[in-house]
Structure 1
Amino acid sequence: MIEVLFFGCFLTFVNADGVADVVLSCSLVEEGAGLGGMGGGALFTRTPATLVLRDVPVGPDESLDTLTPFVPPSVPDPDLILFENKGDSFFLQRLASVSVKSAPFVLNLSRSVPAVSSAEIPNAVMLLHADCNELEVMCEISRYAPRGLPERSDPAYFMVSLSVEGLDISTSLILQTLPVEKDQSTLTQNKLSLPLSQSGTLQTKVIFLVFSNINSVSAPLRGDVLLNCGFKQEETSLAPEVGLEWRLQHRGKGRKVLEMKRELDNTEGATVVHGERKGSSVDAAQALREGNVSMSLTELKVGDEGTYICTVNLGNFHAQQVIQLHIVQPPQVSLSEEKLILQKSSPQTLSCHCAKYYPLDTQMEWFFLPPTESEPKLFPNQGSLSSHRQHGDGTFSLSSHITIPPSFSPGTKITCKVSHPAMDEPLYVSIVVESPQPDSYWWVLGFLVVTVLFFYQVMK
């Protein structure tokens, strides 16, 4: 599947009662005609669309005088694609709460407890003014066909993919169209063939969403990680049971990591959790209370790296989030010599060893600092590299070899600089060139001379 991204921005309109109408520039994505490529049309067509999230509460610090409520077009336009979401815009509430709370889930999502209504959000202005904060917003809308229902059912359903890159969070939400009282003046949206409201909008509500607070995470080899994923549904439950599946995709291969089924209307109901990867787990109690279906992985291996897909199923509906897991392990760096003594007649080889690191990307550089200078210099010839060696645990080792000429001055500092994605800053290991020692011949001759003189003095 070709993924088409449309980058838009948040526009915010604040009403007098302290709630905001958030307007998103989106793209309606539909399957196109033709086979694509040189001989046909595009695989997908994209049409500009707008999504309005009504009545999102804002914080007390928001200046209401500087913003005005969103007003739909004075003359309804059947060519305009304008989705209007009625009721609680809980997606924006969740976004704001994430930015100010350490806990990733703050809304109760289960059937046994009523859905949380709109609440005042601290720092919501930062999110509602994403364009002012230079945060990239992606909004993509497409038709959604629930399992077991006709493709063009009434009501109609749409899948909306939203992400805010600067906040590293994303969501997939399902919109359901609301009934429209039709009369002779009712217009029909030309492209979607759906009735419009009197203001010319497609009135909808969010019935289900799946979200994540992270798009990508790095974790150390043999460490633990929590892959964040959650869901929320409208107050009237869509199904009595929730199904969860975590899958891993990497280098063209896929496998199931964990599967769970849980009753939502029974706090003591049976939970079926099957983890195919040892050390994988989901907190079933949090899944019921908070919609938190995050997965924990322990004792990470190189083989755990890849793309994780969190899919939540509620009756006829399902949505998912994708999270990238990167395994990292910093190198163990050492030099081949503890002391480096110059040889007058021949050059010497100094090696820098990087051991047991992951991933493969590493860079090694050599510098030297003469005793008479203050800034190190890059070796003109960076020497040679050994071939990469891969160990049984998937980590790598590499060595760099440099030649030290006899012309180097004693006191010169030689440094090996190592850069690797697992380290925030490069690692430096150094050695100082020492003066050459006298030849052993002169040591022996000197010893003999001293010995002869000693005995000569004794025998006198």
Structure 2
Amino acid sequence: MMMIELVWFGCCLAFVYGNGLADVVIPCSLLEVGGMGHSALLSKTPATLIFKDVLVGSGEALETITPFVPPSPPDPDAILIEAKVSSPQIPHANLLLHADCNEQEVVCELSHFFTHESSESSDPAYFMVSLAVEGVEFSTTLVLETLTMKKNESALIQNKLGLPLSPMGTLLTEVIFLVFSDKKSVSAPLRSEVVLTCRFKQPAIPLAQEVGIEWRMQHRGKGEKVLEMKTRLDDADGSSVVHAERGGSTVDATRVVKDGDASVTLSDVKVVDEGTYICTVTVGPLHGQQAIRLHITQPPHVFLSKEKLYFKSESSQTLSCHSTKYYPLDVQMEWLFISPTDKEPLLFPDQGSLSSHRQHGDGTYSLTSHLSVPSTVSAGTKIICRVTHLDPHITLSVSLVVECRQPDSYWWVLGFLIITTLFFMQVMR
């Protein structure tokens, strides 16, 4: 006899079966746009999404608490969408199971989806679902298709959607297409190669043979196409059509066909490549999107204006610390010292002055800090310039040690002449 566990995860409910399948219940919002033009308003209606037969693996150890119970009698005002998940399966479904236990919010947004061939009154109806787990590098977009149900006089109709409900009061659907990414944010150094992940799944029997991949980049209100590909799942001759707007951007057509992998590779990334990349996968009449944020980072090169520091007189000397060719702009510079009798570095009371930020042609920045070192600083004191960029726990430091005071060149020359004169006088005797 098959064992069944009923588990309630705060906001997420899971019915876990002995075969590693689970039914997961997630609170959701139905998004609708009302009005026209500038007066259009976005409304949100509470909904509940029930994923059926989600593959979570047999290793899940879940304790029995409280099961989800649909309203009895069925409520035609409640939006309960039951989605069958068999093929394709939802990737990383365990994240949904454990989100509440890990104090992570599951963001679920639901909206009507219309293909070129469908309309508001068409049967079946389609819905698009966007799922993301807070604090986790994973998100997915799913397309749900309603299962055929006879509209008869005794059938219960959902009041807002106008669609027939099951005897349990749920709208029966199945997942037929999904696009997902396990990296919503990527950081890459300048001039490196970076991969932005985007994958898709569809039923074992494909919805269509034609697949379209488009990558676009948006940054500061501007958008541009990066790459577009058209191929076929039965493409044995390798006749894919690829148009790359950005040089050095590629999508592997073989992996698109074989693995559903639409990831794009960007080579030699620059500051201008930073932005939000939108991956759109189209299969037949359906499409889904994922957005991946690309951050460009470059640590600064730090160096001092002098290799040695010693005082010739009682006047102070200026020591400069140069932080160059870094990105982004966020940088902090500070001066410290360790005297021969100290064990830990101390901040200079006077931190000197900063130059203005200078931007180079490649988009990177430079900054200089000038420190006035008083002559009272004793020999053997170590002066440190410490630079923090992005991560406050990672710093770059350069330093020098103050050397013994050297005599003024005038007195040194005079002393040399006196000694030389005395030497010759002794020789001439």
Q: Could you tell me the TM-score, scaled by structure 1's length?
A: 0.85
Alignment of 1:294-309 (within 5 A): 294-309=263-278
Alignment of 1:197-208 (within 5 A): 197-208=166-177
Alignment of 1:292-331 (within 5 A): 292-331=261-300
Q: CA deviation at 1:32?
A: 3.8
Q: Is the contact made by 2:336 and 2:348 (CA closer than 8 Å) also made in structure 1?
A: yes
Corresponding residue for residue 213 of structure 1: 182
Partners of 2:110 and 2:280 lie apart in 1 by 19
Aligned residue for 1:80, secondary structure, equals: coil
Partners of 2:305 and 2:163 lie apart in 1 by 74
Equivalent residue for 2:164, pick from 175, 183, 195: 195
Equivalent residue for 2:232, pick from 233, 256, 263: 263
Corresponding residue for residue 228 of structure 1: 197
Q: Does 1:180 align with 2:149?
A: yes
Partners of 2:419 and 2:339 lie apart in 1 by 37
Aligned residue for 1:450, secondary structure, equals: helix
Q: CA deviation at 1:391?
A: 2.1
The sequence identity of aligned pairs, in percent, is 61
Q: Is the contact made by 1:259 and 1:274 (CA closer than 8 Å) also made in structure 2?
A: yes
Aligned-residue RMSD, C-alpha: 2.4
Alignment of 1:76-225 (within 5 A): 76-88=74-86, 90-92=88-90, 94-96=91-93, 124=94, 127-225=96-194
Equivalent residue for 2:415, pick from 418, 425, 446: 446
Q: Is the contact made by 1:35 and 1:43 (CA closer than 8 Å) also made in structure 2?
A: no
Pair 1:297–1:65, CA change in 2 (3 A): closer
Pair 1:249–1:188, CA change in 2 (3 A): same
Corresponding residue for residue 256 of structure 2: 287
Partners of 2:278 and 2:370 lie apart in 1 by 43
Q: CA deviation at 1:182?
A: 4.2
After the TM superposition, which parts of structure 1 deviate over 6 Å for at least 4 consecutive aligned residues? none
Partners of 1:219 and 1:62 lie apart in 2 by 35
Pair 1:443–1:238, CA change in 2 (3 A): same
Q: Is the contact made by 1:178 and 1:204 (CA closer than 8 Å) also made in structure 2?
A: yes
Partners of 1:65 and 1:163 lie apart in 2 by 25
Segments of 5+ residues of structure 2 without an aligned counterpart are 1-9
Aligned residue for 2:370, secondary structure, equals: strand
Q: CA deviation at 1:135?
A: 2.6
Q: CA deviation at 1:231?
A: 1.1
Equivalent residue for 2:21, pick from 11, 19, 22: 19
Corresponding residue for residue 45 of structure 2: 47
Q: Does 1:360 align with 2:332?
A: no
Aligned residue for 2:191, secondary structure, equals: coil
Partners of 1:27 and 1:202 lie apart in 2 by 15
Q: Is the contact made by 1:21 and 1:70 (CA closer than 8 Å) also made in structure 2?
A: no
Q: Is the contact made by 1:267 and 1:288 (CA closer than 8 Å) also made in structure 2?
A: no
Partners of 1:420 and 1:237 lie apart in 2 by 49
Q: CA deviation at 1:68?
A: 6.5
Partners of 1:408 and 1:219 lie apart in 2 by 42
Partners of 1:443 and 1:17 lie apart in 2 by 92
Partners of 2:320 and 2:285 lie apart in 1 by 62
Corresponding residue for residue 64 of structure 2: 66
Q: Is the contact made by 1:11 and 1:129 (CA closer than 8 Å) also made in structure 2?
A: no
Partners of 1:10 and 1:451 lie apart in 2 by 94
Q: CA deviation at 1:70?
A: 4.6
Partners of 1:410 and 1:271 lie apart in 2 by 71
Aligned residue for 1:214, secondary structure, equals: coil
Q: Does 1:336 align with 2:338?
A: no
Q: Is the contact made by 2:124 and 2:146 (CA closer than 8 Å) also made in structure 1?
A: yes
Q: CA deviation at 1:372?
A: 2.2
Deviates more, 1:286-295 or 1:361-370: 361-370
Q: Is the contact made by 2:177 and 2:203 (CA closer than 8 Å) also made in structure 1?
A: yes
Aligned residue for 2:282, secondary structure, equals: strand
Partners of 2:266 and 2:83 lie apart in 1 by 37
Q: CA deviation at 1:392?
A: 2.3
Pair 1:285–1:9, CA change in 2 (3 A): farther
Partners of 2:343 and 2:406 lie apart in 1 by 27
Q: Is the contact made by 1:369 and 1:412 (CA closer than 8 Å) also made in structure 2?
A: yes
Q: Does 1:29 align with 2:26?
A: no
Q: What is the total number of aligned residue pairs between the two structures?
A: 420
Q: Deviations over 1:433-452 (max 9, x none)?
A: 22211123332343344334
Residue type at the aligned position of 1:14:
V
Q: Deviations over 1:270-316 (max 9, x none)?
A: 21111121111111011011110111111112221111111111222
Partners of 2:393 and 2:251 lie apart in 1 by 31
Pair 1:343–1:74, CA change in 2 (3 A): farther
Q: Could you tell me the TM-score, scaled by structure 2's length?
A: 0.90
Residue type at the aligned position of 1:21:
D
Corresponding residue for residue 387 of structure 1: 356
Deviates more, 1:441-450 or 1:161-170: 441-450
Q: Is the contact made by 1:141 and 1:161 (CA closer than 8 Å) also made in structure 2?
A: yes
Corresponding residue for residue 390 of structure 2: 421
Partners of 1:266 and 1:456 lie apart in 2 by 102
Partners of 1:131 and 1:89 lie apart in 2 by 26
Residue type at the aligned position of 1:95:
H
Partners of 2:235 and 2:383 lie apart in 1 by 68
Partners of 2:217 and 2:242 lie apart in 1 by 17
Partners of 1:129 and 1:422 lie apart in 2 by 29
Partners of 1:31 and 1:343 lie apart in 2 by 76
Aligned residue for 1:20, secondary structure, equals: strand
Partners of 2:150 and 2:14 lie apart in 1 by 29
Partners of 1:153 and 1:268 lie apart in 2 by 37
Aligned residue for 1:434, secondary structure, equals: coil
Pair 1:270–1:454, CA change in 2 (3 A): closer
Corresponding residue for residue 114 of structure 1: none
Corresponding residue for residue 432 of structure 1: 401
Q: CA deviation at 1:134?
A: 2.4
Q: CA deviation at 1:159?
A: 0.8
